[in-house]
Every structure is written in C-alpha cells, then in structure tokens.
A and B are shown apart, each in its own frame.
Chain A
Amino acid sequence: MVDQTLLRIENLSVCFPVSAGLFRRSHQAVRAINNLSLSLHKNECLSIVGESGCGKSTLALTILGLQKPTQGSISFDGKPITGAEQPGRMQRARMAQMVFQDPYASLNPRQTIYSALAVPLRLHGLCNQGEVEDRIAATLKMVGLKPEQAKRFPHEFSGGQRQRIGIARALILNPKIIVLDEPVSALDVSIRAQIINLLLELKAQLDLSYIMISHDLSVVEHMSDRIAVMYFGQIVEEGPWQSIFANPVHPYTRRLLAAIPDPFMIIRQEDMTRKDMQPPPLSGFSYYPEEIGTHDVYQSPPATEFLPVGDDHRVRFIAR
C-alpha cells in the first residue's frame, strides 16, 4: 500500500518560557504541547477538538511554521520541515495555509481583495504578470465570488463573503494542506452551511487536506474523516469519526460529547442523557473529570501510553 501520510508530527513539544521576577530570569516554562504525535493523510479532514488552553492553536502555528518547536519534528511528504533542514518561508507557504476564525480581523482593511491576492502570487513568482489576473479571477470564482468584486475593500463585504475571501487567500498559492481555525464559529448561523459546503467541495475538487480546529462537534462530525481529541497538550483519543462518535472511550471525550447542547438530540430524547447509555469509564486514564483545569502547566504530564482500542482508534492510558 502506498503511504498516505502527508504530514507527520513526531514527539512534538512546545514550551513558552515564563518571565517572572525582577531580573526576568525564566525558571519555568508553560508546556503548551507535550510530546505530541499525529499524522495527516492525503485528502482527509482531520479535526482537532479541545477546549481553550489545550494547545490546539499552538499546534496550528507550529505546523504553519510561525512557532518553533521546543522538541520533536514535523515532516511534510517525508521531508522534515523543522530543525536544521527546514525549508525557507516561501517553500513552506506553498505547503500549508490557514483560514482564520474571525473574518473581520483577518483581512487588511487597507488592501483591496485584488492586491491581497496578487502580492503573494508575485512574491512567489508562480505566474507571470498576465496570468495573475486570470488566476485571481479563477480563485474568486472557485470560492463563489465574482471576479469584478476584486477591486473592493474588505469592509464592503459581509462576514460570509469575507470568509470566502479568506479561503481564496489560503488557496491562491495552491497549498496541499489548509489549517482551518474554527472556520465557521464567528459566522452567522444561516451562513455557516454555505461555508461548510464550500470547504467540502474544494477539498474534493482540489485534493486538499484539512486540519480543522473546532469545538463545534456537529460541524466536526459533518466534515471530518478522522478526529483527534486534545487535552492539556496531548492527544488523548484519536480515531475515525465513526469510532469517536459511536464509541468514545476516554472520559474527556465522553464529557465533551455529553456537554454539547444539540437541539435535535435534546428534543428527541428529552430526559434520556447520553451518559446513561454508555458503559462506565475504564480506569487508568491520564485525566480525571474532577481534576479539570487543575493540571500544573509547568510540569510534564504523567507517563502515559497511547494504546489501540479498535481499528485505527487509539486512547491514552496512564503507564503502569
């Protein structure tokens, strides 16, 4: 079988030194990502689910090369992109791009759409002057905008249209991977479906791979092929979307699933909570529900093992 892995993250740790005291010597470091391993396959949507402070944003920045890893490595298509052999920022830009959460803050208010898309094209010399215009028009059409809208400024667009522009910007260099940081959570509810459909169409059409950061589990279920649940800088459970939703094993995953207020679920089973339907949690997990938020972010987590519990479905247990 051909290796389907596009991006491989191995034993990645990211620590931020904390400056404290008069002389600003850092004695401690916040451990944002702890020894994390994860891989992204070709043409899949991998969702990273977790709550604020779990390190998912740091992970995204590290993949995009905006944050240096403290330890560990990331490789793209078999070639390392961190450490001594890392490629320049130009090459890196053509590997992965990002779609941001807030469509209002992610577009430069003083730049027309045309110039926001043309500058990166010229910078990378991907096509000659005559082709720039065609390429921009084609990309705008692809995300559902009209080419003649390119000479406008961002404030002339609605939130949904701005998010389309953000997607166009992420596509303009033809990257293989797109990191989606909560791509619909800042949008109006009636606009979300348009963007979700667009992202799924583009993925099929352009053979893209997505890493989606989200806490909205209904969107995650709809879009993902695989899901990784992140807690305290580690992946605590990882597997195909069917396994995660049908058979969540880790107590944190279960807790997340139980916390989602899904309107249809609530109406359908008014007094039957999903917790009752599941077997009680197994012992030996690296997370205890009563300890939520009390982890010491300065310490390494206890030693754990990532063990398979099913087909491609792995869960983190405390090491014996």
Chain B
Amino acid sequence: MSAPPLLEIKNLHIDMRSGQERLNVVENVSFSIGAGETFGLVGESGCGKSITALSLIGLLNRPLSVGQGEILFKGQNLLKMNGSELRRLRGNRISMIFQEPMTALNPLATVGRQIAEMFVLHQGSTWHEAERKAIAALAQVQVPAPDKRVKNYPHQMSGGMRQRVMIAIALACHPDLLIADEPTTALDVTVQAEILKLMQELCDQRGTSVLMISHDLGVIAKMCRRVGIMYAGHLVEERAVADLFRHPAHPYTHGLLASLPVLGQRTLDERKPLQEIEGIVPSIAAFPTGCRFEPRCTRATPICRDTVPGPSILGDGSFVRCYHHG
C-alpha cells in the first residue's frame, strides 16, 4: 500500500443529457489499479462499464460527459488535461483494445503500416525504422511469418489474427495501462483461449497494468486478481476474484453466480432449475433512487429504496455497497 496506484478513479460521475434531463449513467464509481495489476470490470449491457473505460482516455462523446470526480493517472488528473496532452498519452501510455477488431482497424492500410504508425507518432521513429519494429511487434504477438503478414490488409486476416494485430498496436509503445473492452467476445472459444493467454503473457512480461472489461465471468476469473462488479451505473462490489466466487457479498453478485449453469454441476447433482434473478435490468431513464438493485433484490428493506448504500469495507481493500451484505 506504499506506492501510489497507477490509476486511481475517485467518485466518477458520468451524465447523459437527454433534453432537459440529466441522467446519471455512472454514479460515484471509485477504484484503483496498481502497477502490473489486471483489474476486471464486470457488468451487463448498459451498466456503464464501457463508458467508464472511454472516460479514462477522454473519448466520451455527447450526450455523455463526466459530471464530477477525478481520474488520476500516475498522480495527474486526466480530466484536467487538454486535448494535446491527452493525445500524447493515448496509444502511448494508455492504449485500448476493442471488441470488434475489424471496425477498429483501418481497412485501407496494411497492418504493418498501422503498427508502424504508432512508433512514428509516439517515438519519433522514421518510417523505415518503424516498419522494422512493426515486424518485431507482430512476431511478439505470435503471428506466423510476420515479415509477410505486415503487407496484409485487415480483411485478409482471420478474426483472431486481427485481434493479435490490435494487441500489437496497443502494446507497441509499451504502455503502462491497457484497456481491453470485451476483447474476445467476437471470437470463437478456442481462439479466445489463445488471445487471453497471449495478453496475459505479454502484459506479465512488460509489467503492463490491464483494465479488463467483460460480461463473461469466466474470462474475468481467468485474467484478473481483483474485480469490480457494476450494476446500473453503480460499482456494487469490489473483491479479489477468488473471494468473489467463493463468498459473493452483494445480493446481485450472489444472484448472478447462482443463476449461472456450472460446468460439472449436473454430473455431481441432478439437474435443478437455475436460480433466477427476478425482474429486468432498469433502463437508464428509470434508475431507482436508492440502491439500483433494490427492485429485484430479495433482501431489500425500506432503507434500500431511499438511500444509496455507502461502501462497507470487507478487508484487504475490498468493499460492497449493500446494507444487507453477507
């Protein structure tokens, strides 16, 4: 706990303007990522995990904007930086991998050129030098025959290969933080396994911190030590992964884990109906005022409806936002 964390998010609020209204899409989210750590952010669609990630690199577009809060990267507040300072950081110190590599890559440039561009842009290399580095970068993400592959266009590669290229671009300048937003959701399971292994190896080697965003608890369990669970714009629980799966504290996490079919469960035990979480995820326009999980929660009491629970500390830096955790 001595060294300051690489990234520290304090009380982040993200608003969405809709006509006269201001909707709290993300409310009071705080977490931190240490150097070399892989932190997972889990949640369902619309829970705000992706826009939290986008806010880190200043890529929120209207009608979304950061309402209040601080994002400290190596002690500097990213929200106070101007455009050119942020641009110098993006791709260089903080980089990002997206879900669909086909739309994130430029279809009209060879992959070699797109990797080389990073070296030219951020390290001042000459194009000649950068192309040599690009081949080395492709080799590092285990693309076979990298000297030939640099001349390929994105459409000439498979999904898995394209995601490897994305990783090569993202890691080209040895960033301190890699944000991976559902990096394997569009891929087949066997390819997913390869990509996850590659990301893990490369980031371990270089000491890169990773913010891993996913709705897939399996991917998170495989990649991360610590994980934050988001529900409807609130960070409801932050735990070490092993603790989370053994003793989930928040009723939502608890319900989520109980609702998953578990591999091997049916062999050990008869097939039982899965435990359901009643109700539906609230829409952004109709978030409850208190705990946002309250309408679906089995442990809810009147206090949950009125006031948002503050964080209850569970030891070793983990917390849960619930009055009735356990």
Contact = CB atoms under 8 A, between A and B. Distances in A.
Nearest to A52: B188
Interface residues of A, number: 42
A196 interface: yes
B48 to A, nearest CB: 14
A158 B296 CA distance: 15
B225 to A, nearest CB: 12
Contacts of B281: 158, 188, 190-191
A225 to B, nearest CB: 10
Contacts of A265: 263-264
A292 interface: yes
A292 B190 contact: yes
Contact of A256 (B190, B266, B276, B280): B190
A221 B266 contact: yes
Given A158-B281, A261-B216, A263-B218, A197 B273 contact: yes
Given A190-B256, A267-B241, A260 B263 contact: yes
> Per DSSP, are chain B's interface residues mostly helix, strand or loop, or mixed?
helix
Chain A binding surface SS class: helix
Nearest to B252: A190
B148 interface: no
B215 A189 contact: yes
B217 A263 contact: yes
B45 interface: yes
A293 interface: yes
A111 interface: no
Contacts of B216: 261
A264 B259 contact: no
A105 interface: no
Contact of A221 (B241, B261, B275): B261
Nearest to B245: A267
Nearest to B243: A267
A197 B276 contact: yes
Interface in B259-283: 259-267, 271, 273-277, 280-281, 283
Contacts, number: 119
A264 B266 CA distance: 14
Interface in A34-70: 51-52
Interface string A251-279: 00001101111111111000000000000
Interface in A162-210: 188-194, 196-197, 200-201
Nearest to A292: B190
Interface in B171-195: 188-193
B189 A215 contact: yes
A114 to B, nearest CB: 21
B44 A261 contact: no
B123 interface: no
B5 interface: no
A259 B217 contact: no
A266 B246 contact: no
Contacts of A221: 261, 263-266
Interface in A214-241: 215, 217-219, 221-223, 241
Given A265-B263, A293-B158, A259 B190 contact: yes
B235 to A, nearest CB: 16
A161 B242 CA distance: 33
Interface of B: 44-45, 158, 188-193, 196, 215-222, 241-242, 245-246, 252, 255-257, 259-267, 271, 273-277, 280-281, 283
